[in-house]
């Protein structure tokens, strides 16, 4: 009988079940009332007493093993049936779920366009740190220690151990890159600086505590105010249209002298006057001027040999003018409804 039990164990071990019909055949053959297990237990009654202990142990092992195999086969068949049912529910006629492609941010679009225009005029692209020292952000740019222009910048100062108070700050303009560039490179210098700047201002539709600034610097022998005017005139035509005109208004900046605000003809009304230009026909886009001799000296350049001009403008302001956007906060809120409007830009 032990040999027969071993044969049945081998059969159960090698048995395979792939469907509900196979599962039922397995049950009928081995564990039903008329199955092999029931027959073996009936034969066990006739086993000699001295062999019952050994045979009984093997018979119980066979019973447990067979029932476990049946349980495993049942789970496999049920799982297979569920997968088939789920796959049958798939409606291949349904349209595919939309996969929306991302868009380039409007500020990035403007940044790329500005770099493209100035690259054709021979300007390189420079970058610098956003956490800066007082020297590069103010002092080297001709800001006196108690100069009121420092207060106009609403600066974020950074506390740092071992550093004098108010000496480390978040840059308020990208002019710090100009000083660093002039320190390490001899003229001629012709570069554009674009990056984030920070000022402690109340957030509103027209102001933010962070924004992006574009600055340009050209230093060489015999650079004149006419070079500045021609450069900005060409930029305005490339950026806003060939019919664009510019206007220079006298202004004041500590790091340039003489200095001027740059206006362009309103490209919404063509200069006739509208609510965008406040019915003046002009829109301010930048500040500019000839680099102050003190800035050149602080940067290690001889103002008797070299002159230069610099200008600066806000990326957000240009973008708002290009696309007719009336709220600065939209650039930082990541509202998909707003960003998708620039898919074809």
Q: What is the reported pLDDT for 192?
A: 96
What is the DSSP-derived secondary structure letter of residue 303?
T
Taking each helix axis from N to C terminus, what angle separates 36-44 and 2-14, rounded to the nearest 10 degrees? 160
Q: What is the reported pLDDT for 84?
A: 60
pLDDT in 10s for each residue of the chain, 345 residues = 778 878 888 888 888 888 888 888 888 888 888 888 888 878 878 878 888 788 888 888 888 888 888 888 888 888 876 656 555 566 778 787 777 777 889 999 999 999 999 999 999 999 999 999 999 999 999 988 887 767 766 888 887 766 666 689 999 999 999 999 999 999 999 999 999 999 988 888 888 999 999 999 999 999 999 999 999 999 999 998 888 899 999 999 999 999 999 999 887 777 788 776 778 889 889 999 999 999 999 999 999 999 999 999 999 989 988 888 888 999 999 888 898 888 876
Any idea what the Cα angle at residue 78 is, between residues 72 and 81, rounded to 5°? 140
Q: How far apart are CA 132 and CA 312, in angstroms?
A: 18
Q: How far apart are CA 345 and CA 340, in angstroms?
A: 10
Q: Which tokens in the block code for residue 208?
A: 């933010």
Q: What is the reported pLDDT for 79?
A: 80
- HSE (CB half, 13 Å, CA atoms) of 172? 24
Contact 173, 215 (CB under 8 A): yes
Q: How far apart are CA 233 and CA 114, in angstroms?
A: 14
Q: Which tokens in the block code for residue 240?
A: 């806003």
User: Which of helix, strand or coil describes residue 229?
Assistant: helix
From the list 87, 184, 85, 179, the residue with the least C-alpha distance to 135 is 179
How many residues in the chain? 345
């Amino acid at each position: 009988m032990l040999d027969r039990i071993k044969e049945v164990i081998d059969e159960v071990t090698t048995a395979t079940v792939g469907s509900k019909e196979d599962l039922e055949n397995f049950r009928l053959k081995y564990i039903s009332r008329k199955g092999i297990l029931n027959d073996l237990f009936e034969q066990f009654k006739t086993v000699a007493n001295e062999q019952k202990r050994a045979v009984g142990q093997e018979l119980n092992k066979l019973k447990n093993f067979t029932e476990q195999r049946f349980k495993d086969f049942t789970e496999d068949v049920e799982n297979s049936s569920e997968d088939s049912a789920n796959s049958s529910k798939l409606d291949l006629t349904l349209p595919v779920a939309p996969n929306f492609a991302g868009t380039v941010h409007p500020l990035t679009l403007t940044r790329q366009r500005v770099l493209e225009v100035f690259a054709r005029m021979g300007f390189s692209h420079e970058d610098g740190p956003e956490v800066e020292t007082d020297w590069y952000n103010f002092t080297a740019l001709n800001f006196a220690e108690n100069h009121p222009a420092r207060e106009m910048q609403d600066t974020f100062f950074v506390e740092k151990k071992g550093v004098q108070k108010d000496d480390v700050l978040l840059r308020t303009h990208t002019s710090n890159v100009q000083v660093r560039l002039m320190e390490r490179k001899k003229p001629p210098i012709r570069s554009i600086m674009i990056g984030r700047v920070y000022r402690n201002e109340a957030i509103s539709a027209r102001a933010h505590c962070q924004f992006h600034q574009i600055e340009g610097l050209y230093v060489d022998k015999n650079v004149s105010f006419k070079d500045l005017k021609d450069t900005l005139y060409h930029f305005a035509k490339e950026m806003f249209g060939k019919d664009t005109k510019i206007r220079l208004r006298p202004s004041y900046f500590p790091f340039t002298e003489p200095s001027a605000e740059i206006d362009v003809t309103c490209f919404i009304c063509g200069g006739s006057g509208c609510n965008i230009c406040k019915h003046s026909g002009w829109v301010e886009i930048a500040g500019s001027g000839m680099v102050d001799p003190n800035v050149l000296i602080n940067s290690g350049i001889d103002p008797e040999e070299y002159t230069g001009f610099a200008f600066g403008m806000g990326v957000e302001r240009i973008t708002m003018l290009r696309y007719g956007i009336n709220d600065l906060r939209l650039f930082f809120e990541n509202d998909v409804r707003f960003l998708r409007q620039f898919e074809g830009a």
